[in-house]
């Protein structure tokens, strides 16, 4: 279903949402004025640690939940005012498995198509096409309970695609998959977005996944977008190289910070556990100076690297903490 309005495929504007506690539990402010726009035909990534507010945003955009304030649009249609119109245009692949393990893959697909109002022959043809596309054609007539985790996840994505949605929501599509199944899913998502010419909203807490798949992304932290752009733009915002030094002992971190903090070739020096991070215009010449100072102070170093900025550095520069640490805080 093409979007002929010229509006962005997806738009969220100043969304807020607080989950009321009840029974003595405190309220949780999940979204605190979240805004972004995604252009038609692109993969847009919402990247953030667990609890950042990604799923809440997806639920609001896909009409499953209502915002307390702010507005959300799919293909220019207000999701709160016209949820039925929005539902026809979207596919939603939730974190939990939706397929019935006691049916075959093909039966699951055909049923999903019929529930979406497709005629029987059309649903069967589309099921055949999607089983082939996701390399599930040989497994298509087996019960889903015999599928691997990666196969079941691909079937869930295919179910979301049955009615040819204009926008597909993929909520954490590779969580729980092993590295091989994850790489396979990435290749499928890339192929799918190219072939189906759909807009995909991908939520993920994997930096590598966002970097690889999203043409644009918004980094979400505590219910707000803290940075957005293409992965390259976000990384280019950070001038210079990342210098990373891992200490042998976390107890040395304060002394190490004080020591290398004196170097004026280093900026944004920060410690997180045993890891010290800083930025330098020329990392390769700043690193030996830093190591010399640490040695002078009697501080043992486990490893040291110089790298081009990563999305982790972008996250750190906007939130003051590393992605891994933010992830840990929420678990």
Distance CA 115, CA 54 (A): 27
Closest approach, Cβ 270 to ligand ATP, in A, equals 23
Among 38, 47, 52, 177, binds ligand ATP (CB under 6 A): 52
Instruction: Considering the complex, state which of residue 64 and residue 291 has its C-beta at the smaller distance from ligand ATP.
Output: 64
Instruction: Considering the complex, state which of residue 56 and residue 319 has its C-beta at the smaller distance from ligand ATP.
Output: 56
Give the interface segment with ligand ATP, choosing from 49-57, 73-81, 148-156, 193-201 (CB under 6 A). 49-57
Site for ligand ATP in 149-188 (CB under 6 A): 172
Instruction: Dig out the tokens for 156 from the structure.
Output: 């869930």
Give the interface segment with ligand ATP, choosing from 54-62, 71-79, 106-114, 274-282 (CB under 6 A). 54-62
**What would the x/- binding string for ligand ATP be over residues 18 to 47, using CB under 6 A?**
-x--------x-x-----------------
Among 10, 12, 34, 53, binds ligand ATP (CB under 6 A): 53
CB 219 within 8 A of CB 228: yes
Among 8, 45, 51, 160, binds ligand ATP (CB under 6 A): 51
Q: Sheet with 10-19: list strands edge to edge.
A: 28-38, 10-19, 69-74, 77-78
- Give how far Cα 119 sits from Cα of 109, 253, 282, Å: 13, 65, 62
Q: How far is CA 37 from the centre of its chain?
A: 15
Instruction: Considering the complex, state which of residue 53 and residue 240 has its C-beta at the smaller distance from ligand ATP.
Output: 53
- Residue 62 contacts ligand ATP per CB under 6 A: no
Q: By CB under 6 A, how many residues form the interface with ligand ATP?
A: 13
Distance CA 174, CA 187 (A): 12
Site for ligand ATP in 183-242 (CB under 6 A): 205
- Residue 127 contacts ligand ATP per CB under 6 A: no
Among 48, 140, 173, 309, binds ligand ATP (CB under 6 A): 48
- Bridge partners, 69 (sequence order): 16
Dihedral of CA 219/193/178/159: which sign? positive
Instruction: Considering the complex, state which of residue 52 and residue 217 has its C-beta at the smaller distance from ligand ATP.
Output: 52
**265 — phi, psi (to 5°)?**
-80, -10
Instruction: Considering the complex, state which of residue 48 and residue 160 has its C-beta at the smaller distance from ligand ATP.
Output: 48
Closest approach, Cβ 202 to ligand ATP, in A, equals 12
Distance CA 231, CA 206 (A): 13
Among 9, 36, 47, 54, binds ligand ATP (CB under 6 A): 54
Closest approach, Cβ 290 to ligand ATP, in A, equals 35
Pairs from 261-266 (Cβ < 8 Å, separation ≥ 24): 262/293, 263/289, 263/290, 263/293, 265/289, 266/290
Closest approach, Cβ 98 to ligand ATP, in A, equals 16
Closest approach, Cβ 51 to ligand ATP, in A, equals 4
- Residue 55 contacts ligand ATP per CB under 6 A: yes
Instruction: Considering the complex, state which of residue 34 and residue 43 has its C-beta at the smaller distance from ligand ATP.
Output: 34
- Give how far Cα 220 sits from Cα of 12, 29, 158, 272, Å: 13, 14, 27, 20
**60 — phi, psi (to 5°)?**
-70, -45
Nearest to 231 by CA among 243, 245, 213, 244: 213
- DSSP SS3 for 293: helix
Instruction: Considering the complex, state which of residue 41 and residue 328 has its C-beta at the smaller distance from ligand ATP.
Output: 328
Contact residues for ligand ATP, defined by CB under 6 A: 19, 28, 30, 48, 50-56, 172, 205
């Amino acid at each position: 279903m093409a979007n002929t309005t010229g509006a962005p495929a997806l738009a969220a504007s100043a969304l807020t949402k607080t989950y009321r506690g009840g029974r003595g539990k405190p309220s949780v402010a999940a979204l605190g004025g979240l805004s972004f726009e995604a252009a038609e035909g692109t993969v847009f990534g919402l990247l953030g640690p667990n609890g950042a507010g990604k799923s809440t945003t997806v639920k609001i955009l896909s009409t499953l939940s209502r915002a307390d304030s702010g507005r959300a649009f799919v293909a220019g249609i207000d999701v709160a005012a016209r949820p039925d119109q929005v539902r026809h245009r979207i596919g939603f692949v939730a974190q939990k498995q939706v397929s019935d393990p006691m049916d075959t893959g093909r039966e699951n697909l055909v049923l999903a198509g019929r529930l979406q109002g497709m005629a029987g022959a059309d649903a069967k043809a589309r099921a055949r096409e999607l089983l082939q596309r996701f390399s599930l054609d040989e497994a298509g007539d087996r019960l889903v309970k015999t599928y691997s985790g990666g196969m079941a996840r691909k079937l869930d994505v295919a179910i979301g695609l049955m009615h040819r949605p204009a926008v597909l929501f993929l909520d954490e599509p590779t969580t729980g998959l092993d590295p091989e199944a994850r790489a396979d899913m990435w290749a499928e998502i890339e192929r799918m977005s190219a072939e189906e010419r759909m807009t995909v909203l991908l939520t993920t807490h994997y930096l590598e996944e966002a970097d690889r798949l999203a043409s644009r992304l918004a980094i979400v932290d505590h219910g707000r977008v803290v940075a957005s752009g293409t992965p390259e733009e976000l990384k280019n915002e950070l001038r210079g190289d990342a210098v990373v030094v891992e200490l042998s002992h976390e107890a040395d971190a304060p002394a190490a910070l004080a020591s290398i903090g004196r170097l004026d070739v280093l900026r944004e020096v920060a410690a997180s556990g045993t890891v010290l991070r800083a930025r330098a215009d020329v990392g390769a010449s700043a690193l030996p100076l830093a190591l010399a100072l640490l040695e002078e102070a009697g501080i043992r170093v486990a490893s040291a690297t110089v790298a081009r900025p990563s999305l982790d550095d972008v996250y750190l520069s906007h939130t003051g903490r590393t992605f891994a640490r933010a992830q840990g805080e929420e678990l």
